[in-house]
Amino acid sequence: MIITTEQLKAIVGAGGGVILDATTMTFNQMREVSIAAQSGNARITIRKVGGLTAAQLTEIATLAPGLVWFDLTA
DSSP string covering 6-72:
HHHHHHHHTT--EEEEGGGS-HHHHHHHHHHHHHHT--EEEE--TTS-HHHHHHHHHHSTTTEEE--
pLDDT value of position 20: 96
What range defines the domain where residue 21 resides? 5-70
- In order along its 74 residues, the chain shows pLDDT tens digits of 689 999 999 999 999 999 999 999 999 999 999 999 999 999 999 999 999 999 999 999 999 999 999 999 86
**What pLDDT, on a 0 to 100 scale, did the predictor assign at position 2?**
84
Task: Say how many domains are in the chain.
Answer: 1
